[in-house]
Amino acid sequence: MPNEMTIEENVLYIEALSHALRDEMRHDPSVMLMGQDIAGHGGAFKITKGFLDEFGPQRVRNTPIAESGTIGIATGAAILGQRPVIEMQFADFISCGFNQLVNVAAKMYWRTECSVPLVIRMPGGGGMGAGAFHSQNVESWFLHSPGLKVVAPAFSDDAYRLLRSAIKDPNPVIYFEHKFLYRRERTDLKGTEIGDRVVGEANVRRSGQHLTSISWGWMTHRVLEAAEIMAAEGIEIEVIDLPVLSPLDLDPILQSIEKTEHVAITHEATRTCGFGAELAARISDEAIWNLDGPVRRITYPDSPSPFNKKLEADRIPSVDVICDGWRQALQS
Amino acid sequence: MMDQPANSSPSNTGAPPEVSPAAAWLDTGSDHALREMHAYMRLTREWDLRYEKMFKTGALSKWYSSVGNEAATVAAASAIEKGDALVSLHRDAGAILRHYVNIETLIPEIFPSNMNLIRQPLGGDSRERLFRLACQMLGRQHGYSAGHERSYHYNHMEPEHGLIHIGMISHLGSMIPVAAGAALSFQQQKSDRVAINFIGEGATSTGDFHEGLNIASVWKLPFILIIENNHWAFSTPTSQQYACDNLASRAIGYGMAGVEVDGNDPIAMHQVMQEAVQRARSGEGPTLVEAHVGRHRGHSEGDDSLDQVPGDELRGYLENDPMDLIETRMVNSGIVSRAWLEEIREKCAALIMEVVDEAMSMPEPEPNSDRSIHAE
């Protein structure tokens, strides 16, 4: 089947995900979907609405509530040539399938040289008052597990392109899609070429000479907003978005720091051992002599997500908090 | 859907089950069936005894023995064919050897010329597979994981010969869904191949046992899960592991077939497996097989966990050694003589000795901390 690409203007993030899944399923008959309520119902967020009719019950499978069993079964099928894409109903639920992911799927290639072409879609992130078990940003759990690739796109075009690449990739890919962006973010899908591997990407989304900002997912949008405010004050922020967290493309970050001599990492995940800590360590290793101040982290506190939206908003880095963090970084 | 148990068993009492006579369905070919089972069981026994000896002399740092499990595992793997998937654990050398090698090419004249084989061996080089398996056990470069993974923690695939073998990770029960996933791949491809997986009775307490079997049954996957119930999980007896009468009846709760069988009787075991494989191939879904075997060794060699097994119980297991049982049966039936059995034992032991010595002389892997974590 041809490798058709959706080309469309002003596409919602959630539609980009649907398009990517549908296009890749049309292209490759070994792609199959598994997840809770994804078949007739189309999934908790309706991303696979209509897929059952088009692709049939063999390829679009509702699973029982069994994250571990589902990931294990998908891993076994992937070893023998299927390309399963699992939808976690919420990223938080991955903890119930943790062992299958970090010990069976992640280590399989290193142990046995059998590849596991598996994608786990992870609707994650907060901002909707969904409480402690429907709001988390758990990318660090998987960045610490050798063998997994980790994707966290902020824009519809990246979401489309990277989901298709993730499905083509012969390795297990943890694909974080941000629920807050589902129906808010819109970008054109221009038919850019789809890679058949997920590789490290660090994309400069705004140029500036005073401070390098690193972020991913929803936070990149807040960072871009904050950069506008800073520009009005005469401070130009270089915004680097990481649609792929692992493998990490560090070079563009180091090159930017060479120019700006200041760096701040913004993430929605909790602080301790968040990916910001690893980025800070890498930057220290490689570029500490280029820095004119400490590496700043602007993050969620070490706290679960509260239900009340005001309480939650108080914890997620806001545009103001990000601007303040940058100002402190530039003062030091 | 619970099948009639192939053999009644006291299950949770810890006592070894009684031995049933050879199944009637094999009456015309039972001589041949016993000879075939015996050949692979003996090869497996000598395989283990060799490593056990190496462990005792310090030549090997760790060993998990398959002694006592040979009848169940050889008979189970005798029911699968080219293209089926084997997912094994650490007491399944019998299934691996049965699946990997054509013993006739390794020990010529082990079978009479008119032998009716229960299963056709896979094509390919049996000697090379046995050698690489020994290298794998010894952590050598030529092993299936090139020294990166221990003993049975490896995969081996030979698509050209229809050999699909997925090994274990240390987390017991974790491979149940993975094996069911192999069965799913067959279902997706509309093939009639099946996947079989071995676990111990301890792993039936895990969440993956429940999740894997439940999905396998809901999706009617061509999957057979064999519990090798040796009544002891490390040092934990069944009375502290589960409170039900037997594990096969758990199948009722999943809406699948469940069978309890004497795992010391390779003929009974093979019959149960053949029925299960037929059920899977014809799209009727998975089967849970509970095969009772004896606890002959500790969890691993040298860990003194066997001390926990009461003396009478242990004696019962040792007196019902499946190797002794099948040989006595063959001699009593007039199939072979004691002298012939001894000759075969010597040939198997010599073959294993030769292969293991050769593996020992092979190079260890070179340091390579950059071994890829990702498929390129």
Question: Which residue of B154, B185, B189 is in closest CB contact with A112?
Answer: B154
List pLDDT tens digits, range B169-208: 999 999 999 999 999 999 999 999 999 999 999 999 999 9
The CA-atom distances, in angstroms, between B7 and each of B12, B165, B196 are 15, 29, 21
Question: What's the first-to-final CA gap in chain A, in angstroms?
Answer: 57
Within-domain flag for A268: yes
* Residue A304 CB partners (closer than 8 Å, separation 6+): A132
**Number of domain units in chain A:** 2
**Number of domain units in chain B:** 1
Interface confidence, given as ipTM, is 0.95
Residue A95 contacts B, CB cutoff 8 Å: no
Q: A171 with A311, same domain?
A: no
Q: Strand pairing of A173-178 and A119-124?
A: parallel
Please tell me the pTM assigned to this model: 0.94
Q: Residue A104's closest chain B neighbor by CA?
A: B169
Q: Which residues from chain A sit within 8 angstroms of residue B155, using beta carbons?
A: 79, 108, 111-114
Q: Which residues from chain A sit within 8 angstroms of residue B145, using beta carbons?
A: 111-112
Q: A59 with A160, same domain?
A: yes
Within-domain flag for A196: no
Within-domain flag for B50: yes
Tokens at B248, concatenated: 């096969």
- Domain with B83 in it: 36-165+331-362
Q: A59 with A135, same domain?
A: yes
Q: How many CB pairs under 8 A join A and B?
A: 137
Residue A68 and residue B177: Cβ atoms within 8 Å?
yes
> For residue A213, what pLDDT is reported?
98
Percentages of chain B per state (helix, strand, coil), in multiples of 5: 45, 10, 45
Residue B157 and residue A114: Cβ atoms within 8 Å?
yes
Q: Residue A75's closest chain B neighbor by CA?
A: B178
Q: Which of A159, A189, A219 is the last residue of a domain?
A: A189
Q: Residue B214's closest chain A neighbor by CA?
A: A64
Q: A72 with A20, same domain?
A: yes
pLDDT above 90: residue B13: no
Residue count of chain B: 376
Q: A165 with A61, same domain?
A: yes
CB A288, CB A240: distance < 8 Å: no
Q: Which residues from chain A sit within 8 angstroms of residue B171, using beta carbons?
A: 99, 103
Q: A278 with A307, same domain?
A: yes
pLDDT above 90: residue B18: no
Q: A244 with A178, same domain?
A: no
Residue B185 and residue A110: Cβ atoms within 8 Å?
no
Within-domain flag for A103: yes
* Residue B182 CB partners (closer than 8 Å, separation 6+): A76, A77, A79, A80, B85, B87, B164, B166, B195
Within-domain flag for B156: yes
Q: Residue A59's closest chain B neighbor by CA?
A: B188
Residue B184 and residue A170: Cβ atoms within 8 Å?
no
Continuous segment of H or E residues that includes residue A3: none
Q: What is the pLDDT along chain A (332 residues), one digit of tens a residue?
A: 678 899 999 999 999 999 999 999 999 999 999 999 999 999 999 999 999 999 999 999 999 999 999 999 999 999 999 999 999 999 999 999 999 999 999 999 999 999 999 999 999 999 999 999 999 999 999 999 999 999 999 999 999 999 999 999 999 999 999 999 999 999 999 988 899 999 999 999 999 999 999 999 999 999 999 999 999 999 999 999 999 999 999 999 999 999 999 999 999 999 999 999 999 999 999 999 999 999 999 999 999 999 999 999 999 999 999 999 999 999 96
* Residue A263 CB partners (closer than 8 Å, separation 6+): A211, A212, A213, A214, A253, A256, A257, A283, A291, A295, A296, A329
C-alpha dihedral sign at A107, A108, A110, A115:
negative
Q: Which of A157, A189, A221 is the last residue of a domain?
A: A189
Within-domain flag for B245: no
Question: Which residue of B148, B184, B185 is in closest CB contact with A111?
Answer: B148
> For residue A189, what pLDDT is reported?
96
Within-domain flag for B214: no
Q: Which residues from chain A sit within 8 angstroms of residue B224, using beta carbons?
A: none
How far away is chain A from the Cα of B35, in angstroms, using its nearest Cα?
Answer: 34
CA-to-CA distance for B183 and B44, rounded, in angstroms? Answer: 27
Residue B174 and residue A80: Cβ atoms within 8 Å?
no
How far away is chain B from the Cα of A69, in angstroms, using its nearest Cα?
Answer: 5
Within-domain flag for A306: yes
Residue B155 and residue A114: Cβ atoms within 8 Å?
yes
Q: Strand pairing of A83-87 and A119-124?
A: parallel
Within-domain flag for B351: yes
Q: Which residues from chain B sit within 8 angstroms of residue A66, using beta carbons?
A: 211, 214-215
Average pLDDT of the residues of chain B: 92
Q: Which residues from chain B sit within 8 angstroms of residue A64, using beta carbons?
A: 211, 214-215, 218
* Residue A289 CB partners (closer than 8 Å, separation 6+): none
SS3 B81: coil
CB B278, CB B259: distance < 8 Å: no
SS3 B211: helix
Question: Which residue of B207, B216, B375 is in closest CB contact with A171?
Answer: B375
CB B119, CB B84: distance < 8 Å: no
Residue A76 contacts B, CB cutoff 8 Å: yes
Q: Residue A58's closest chain B neighbor by CA?
A: B188
Residue A151 contacts B, CB cutoff 8 Å: no
pLDDT above 80: residue B312: yes
Residue B211 and residue A80: Cβ atoms within 8 Å?
no
Q: Which residues from chain A sit within 8 angstroms of residue B191, using beta carbons?
A: none
Percent of chain B predicted with pLDDT > 70: 92
Neighbours of B63 (CB within 10 A): 21
CA-to-CA distance for A98 and A133, rounded, in angstroms? Answer: 15
Q: Residue B169's closest chain A neighbor by CA?
A: A104
Residues B26-35, mean pLDDT to the nearest whole number? 70
| Phi, psi of B336, deg, nearest 5 | -140, 170
Within-domain flag for A155: yes
Q: Which of A142, A163, A189 is the last residue of a domain?
A: A189
Residue B189 and residue A79: Cβ atoms within 8 Å?
no
B273 CA to centre of own chain: 12
Within-domain flag for A6: no
- What is the pLDDT confidence band of residue B114, given thresholds at 50, 70 and 90? confident
Q: A27 with A167, same domain?
A: yes
Residue B182 and residue A115: Cβ atoms within 8 Å?
no
Q: What CATH number is associated with residue A100?
A: 3.40.50.970
Within-domain flag for B40: yes
> For residue A1, what pLDDT is reported?
66
Within-domain flag for B353: yes
Q: A140 with A264, same domain?
A: no
Residue A103 contacts B, CB cutoff 8 Å: yes
Within-domain flag for B97: yes
CA-to-CA distance for A210 and A152, rounded, in angstroms? Answer: 26
> For residue B30, what pLDDT is reported?
76
Within-domain flag for A37: yes
Residue B373 and residue A74: Cβ atoms within 8 Å?
no
Q: A134 with A23, same domain?
A: yes
Tell me whether residue A134 is one of the annotated catalytic residues.
Answer: yes
Q: A166 with A27, same domain?
A: yes
The CA-atom distances, in angstroms, between B171 and each of A95, A216, B60, B152, B176 are 16, 34, 22, 13, 11
Within-domain flag for A194: no
Q: What CATH number is associated with residue A206?
A: 3.40.50.920
Residue B185 and residue A171: Cβ atoms within 8 Å?
no
Residue A72 and residue B211: Cβ atoms within 8 Å?
yes
- Domain with A62 in it: 11-189
Of A19, A27, A41, A134, the catalytic one is A134
Residue A73 and residue B184: Cβ atoms within 8 Å?
yes
CA-to-CA distance for B354 and B370, rounded, in angstroms? Answer: 34
What interhelical angle do B322-332 and B30-56 show, nearest 10?
140
Q: Residue B180's closest chain A neighbor by CA?
A: A73
Q: Which residues from chain B sit within 8 angstroms of residue A113, using beta carbons?
A: 155, 375
Q: A173 with A239, same domain?
A: no
